[in-house]
Amino acid sequence: MRCLITGASSGIGETIARRLAAEGHPVALMARRTERVREIAAELGSAIAVPGDVGSGEDCEAVVQRVVEAFGGVDTLVNAAGTWVEEPLHAATYEQIRRFVDTDVSGALQITRAALPQLMKGGGRLVHINGLQGLIRVRPPVLYATVESAVRGLCESLRWEAAPHGVHVGFITLGSVANTEAATPDMVVLHSGDERNRLSRDEVADAVLFMLSRPEGVNIDELVLTPLQQSF
């Protein structure tokens, strides 16, 4: 698989990129943090850095073109780019709202649009990483529920539109993840007392690689991963 991973400078995106590269797949790392993706790519024998912002349509088109030039095409897109706004809607600034929507909603749409012509050439695969608030809308923050619901709509609709072109569209919905700790941290990090309340990044990557490894024509519409005792 010739893979493009967004949000690859840290967290879940970085872990997925490292796991795919370890399996020998050519991997392109996209993120805004230019020096960081270059550092990671230099560590991985089959990776290239393609700095860019999913919130910019021009960046998305340019990144896909660079991957095509380097690898000859794009078979797989994993979109792990995302940001976060904690404030309630009445306290969020308009700049926070704009940046959140640009990255999590417009970014998902734009990188998908840029990669689709390549994915349509050979039964490619697309995976979006999403949060649980798009599925269980029971509490704030409102902005999180809004953007995650939008990405859910994108994937559920695109699945039907892209299927005639052989494109597999998958969606992974996550509960709480230990996103800033080691990819496989000490188990105490994933627990609160005796209760398992966080997932590791490697556990998320396991789900992504499982989804990507299904036979052609087999589509996993959605996987929902939650730590058993997370409180919602």
Which of 71, 100, 144, 171 is catalytic? The answer is: 144
Per-residue tokens: 120: 């349509």
Q: What per-residue string of b and e applies to 172-204 under the rule 16 or more CB within 10 Å gives b?
A: bbbbbbbbeeebeeeeeebeeeeeebbbbbbbb
Select from 213, 204, 156 the least CA-distant residue to 179. Answer: 204
- In 27-114, which ranges are E strands? 27-30, 47-49, 76-79
Residue 44 buriedness (CB in 10 A; 0-12 / 13-18 / 19+): middle
> CB–CB of 26/13 below 8 Å?
no
Task: Specify which residues 150 forms β-bridges with.
Answer: none
94 a catalytic residue: no
Q: Are strands 3-6 and 27-30 parallel, antiparallel or unpaired?
A: parallel
Which is it for strands 191-192 and 195-196: parallel, antiparallel or unpaired?
antiparallel
Q: Which two tokens stand for residue 39?
A: 């550092």
Distance CA 94, CA 92 (A): 7
- Positions marked catalytic: 144
